[in-house]
Amino acid sequence: MIARAVDIRRPSLLQRMAREDSTVRRLDGLMLVAVAGLCVIGTLLVWSSTRTWAPGSTGLVKKHLLNEAVGIVMCGLVAMVDHRAMRAYAPLVFLMSLLGLGLVLTPLGATINGSHSWILLGGGFAVQPSEFAKVGLLLITAMLLAQPAEGTDRPRMIDVTLALVAAGITIGLVMLQPDLGTAMVLAVITAAGLVISGVRKRLIALLTLVAGLGVFAVFYFQMLEPYQVARFTAFVDPSVDPRGVGYNSTQSLIAIGSGQLLGKGLLGGGQTTGRFVPEQHTDFIFTVAGEEFGFLGSVTVVILLGIVLLRGLKIARECEDRFGTLVAGTIVCWFAFQTFINVGMTIGIMPITGLPLPFVSYGGTATFANLVAVGLLQAIKVRRRPFA
């Protein structure tokens, strides 16, 4: 009697991915699709805004694609790590981010566009440690505030104090560069962590008062650089000097308005081709979308960013451990604030602060930080249940 051979072959990769308990099946696919769409749109806009002046016919697209590829790999690696185990690595990540900020203030640092925020690596590549500081600060803040005091769901006062100290050191190092836009994002990350963790309203009110006094002191003692003061002046009245401090705002509005409903088509924007808007591939990339893709294209970008934010909120709400909720909620506040400031400054409702548009603007370190944050969200989504 002949026995049948038993097929003991291991299931293929596709078969393992299709299983109900597969990590791939538990990823937030809608968020990933939205992020991919933003990256594709960003690549097209970077090509359009740099092809006339950057070396080669493709402008900075090749470098931008390389940055995105590296960022996607980093996103995947972070998504594979259990976010609850990241609590152990949070102090190390935070200390490494402080080290990077400290190196900027040494002779290794370089000044670009008036901000001493970069470390040149050679070959046309540079690193901006303040972008990684966003990730470092949100992880250490979440770690400190995730442990509630005994008998309550609020964090201990000592942990709140340590979180504020960590934020103060990080923001202080960034302001020495100076980089007001990134400092504002870091302040929002800290505030979001405190609010989500459930600290008392009286403490929130007190910290808000202190922050307001700090802003007043910055202006009263003239701690801002002249170009930063000029940006606020142009925001209050762009017509005060349309060829000087108000030039960026004026040209930005012209570019967006000229796109009308459907835009002038990719590579067809006169403002973009003529380089009338400075830094159009980074801080002002939304003007390229407005001019070449029109109102509908601009709304599409905003909708895709909105999908990322809404899916992030869903992940934060459904997570069953405090650390994951804090990380996810803080990332959403980070992306929301930076999106509002970037889009707002291009349409004239916010002052120019030099913040890139997440997933769309050109920039290596910013792309890495944004995609690492997406990886954190995916890690929380995949392993949202608490330890047994």
* pLDDT at residue number 14: 55
Residue 361 pLDDT more than 80?
A: yes
The mean pLDDT of 211-228, rounded to a whole number, is: 76
Strands (E), the chain: 109-112, 115-122, 125-127
The mean pLDDT of 170-198, rounded to a whole number, is: 92
- For residue 90, give the H/E element and its range: helix 86-104
pLDDT, tens only, 21-57 = 566 777 889 999 999 999 999 999 999 988 887 777 6
Mean pLDDT of the chain: 86
Q: What share of the chain is helix, strand, coil (3-state, %, to 5)?
A: 65, 5, 30
* pLDDT at residue number 300: 96
The three state secondary structure string of 292-305 is HCHHHHHHHHHHHH
Instruction: State the pairing for strand pair 115-122/125-127.
Output: antiparallel
Report which of residues 163 and 116 the model is more confident about.
163
Residue pair 315/28 in contact by the 8 Å Cβ criterion = yes
Which of 213, 230, 229, 287 has the alpha carbon at shortest distance from 257? 287
Residue pair 116/177 in contact by the 8 Å Cβ criterion = yes
Distances (CA, A) of 251 to 151, 170, 220, 313: 57, 34, 30, 35
pTM (2 d.p.): 0.89
Report which of residues 56 and 304 the model is more confident about.
304
Amino acid sitting at position 49: S
pLDDT, tens only, 321-354 = 899 999 999 999 999 999 999 999 998 888 888 8
Which of 373, 345, 348 has the alpha carbon at shortest distance from 357? 345
The encoded tokens of residue 263 equal 């835009």
Residue pair 62/80 in contact by the 8 Å Cβ criterion = no
216 secondary structure, DSSP code: H
* pLDDT at residue number 387: 41
